[in-house]
Homo-oligomer: A and B are copies of this chain.
Amino acid sequence: MEHIKEVVTVEEQAIAAKSAAKQLSLLTTAERNEALVAVAAQLEKDYEVILTANDKDMQAGEAKGFDAAFLDRLKLNRERIEDFASGLKEVVELEDPTDHVVSEWTLENGLHVSRITVPLGVIGMIYEARPNVTADATGLALKSGNAIVLKGGSSAIHTNTAIVEVIKKALQQTKVPAEAVQLIQSTDRKETAKLFTMKEHIDVLIPRGGASLIQAVVDSATVPVLETGVGNCHMYVDNTAQVDMAISTFLNAKTDRPAVCNALETLIVHRKWLETNKDALVQALQENGIQTHGDDIAVQLLPDCKPATEADWANEYLGLDVAVRVVDSVEEAIDHIDRYGTKHSEAIISEDGEAVNKFMKAVDAAALYHNASTRFTDGHALGFGAEIGISTQKLHARGPMGLPALTTYKYVMKGNGQTR
């Protein structure tokens, strides 16, 4: 048994969030939008409080010797805080995903059935030291009528605390209860992990971050998880692929932003295409400083190609390296993707309708591309207006998740005394 602590426990925070979620479910779209507008204004006004707190985290992070990329994600300035505010204002403009009648019908006995979208309830958001997630996720949660329990990376604790204080200050002037936003202060892993099993109070967990963070949540959670994950993305260049198109989509997928999850990691290429178009590909690789790691045939055909290990096929490079597999058919390409793909984004460049159809049917991934770069797997690029993350699981939401992923539905039955 836990002893009562001076600070609130994770369970107390989850209960408060659940209670706030019930109040939220009774508010109108306008009332929730007004709260987001108030939060945006308060962030713009109180930016200095947040920057002061951020300085503390930055100093601690530098003292601990965190790397430059980590510190860059942690670091805030006035402009970045204004970006939080404008992000919230954009969310205000989006359509409310709740209270939509998805379908409705009347049974023969006159009972009217409607399926209506409703908020999930309480979202548990687990993420790394990226303060922007604190503001973004809160905005998306409140917009969709959900309460949120935030557990950010402990290296950002001062920044997150300041952001959440500003948010709560703003909410106090609105109809949205301030308790709808909870930031877990505890850094005790055992205490915070309780969030993962509080099925009574938390409706969904959304882990965002590296593979190990996501794995830790999935392994210990009994609360359902919306899994976002890694993208070990492939492009298959078929025998019939147009050479210019193959090279331009490949280069875009590989080099536009190599560190993101929809970037390309493995090029699968038909042997005949490679034999014919080797020179054009080699030139593109060299001009863009791309290091290849290939199978035996690739090593034979491509200059400076290193032999690929199992890790080359299985892991994301997130940089200017690419694995190259040479195959004799679309079936071989599909088998390779089956084995190593992470069900994120997979492309085929081909002029052969039958091969394309087979690829589209048999490859099991959130996003499949014919004759295009994999870089479009992104809520903004696809026109969703906002993105909570990119799901690599199959239940509930797959691929880029917009606001509707934060809703569920109710069946509402209206009768006049029907019995069965």
Contact = CB atoms under 8 A, between A and B. Distances in A.
A62 interface: no
B105 A413 contact: no
A420 B262 CA distance: 11
A121 B394 contact: yes
A171 to B, nearest CB: 20
Nearest to A347: B413
Contact of A411 (B26, B120, B382): B382
A420 B361 contact: no
Nearest to A393: B224
Nearest to A224: B395
Contact of A226 (B222, B249, B395, B415): B395
A414 B372 CA distance: 7
Instruction: Count this chain's copies in the assembly.
Output: 2
A417 B362 contact: no
Interface stretch (A149-157, A175-183, A316-324, A373-381): A373-381
A410 B256 contact: no
Contacts of A245: 416-417
Contacts of A371: 414-418
A25 to B, nearest CB: 6
B107 A383 contact: yes
A362 B105 contact: no
A72 interface: no
B368 A249 contact: no
Contact of A120 (B22, B256, B394): B394
A338 interface: yes
A372 B245 CA distance: 61
A369 interface: yes
B420 A373 contact: yes
A411 B410 CA distance: 26
A231 interface: no
Interface centre among A248, A369, A411 (most CB of B within 10 A): A411
B249 A417 contact: yes
Nearest to A23: B362
Contacts of A273: none
A105 B385 CA distance: 14
Contacts of A394: 120-121, 203-204, 224, 408
B248 A419 contact: yes
Given A408-B395, A409-B398, A410-B367, A372 B417 contact: yes
A368 B107 contact: no
Contact of A420 (B203, B242, B381): B381
Nearest to A219: B222
A163 interface: no
B411 A377 contact: yes
A408 to B, nearest CB: 4
A255 to B, nearest CB: 10
A302 interface: no
A198 interface: no
Interface of A: 22, 25-26, 105, 107, 111, 113, 120-121, 203-204, 218-219, 222, 224-226, 242, 244-245, 248-249, 251-253, 256, 338, 358, 360-362, 364-373, 375-377, 381-383, 393-396, 398-400, 408-420
11 contacts: A105-B383, A107-B376, A218-B222, A219-B222, A224-B225, A252-B420, A372-B415, A372-B416, A377-B411, A398-B411, A399-B410
Given A226-B395, A252-B420, A371-B416, 10 more contacts: A26-B361, A224-B225, A224-B393, A365-B410, A370-B413, A370-B414, A373-B418, A382-B411, A394-B408, A396-B396
- Which 6 A-B pairs give the minimum distances between C-beta atoms? A372-B415, A252-B419, A394-B408, A375-B420, A395-B396, A245-B417
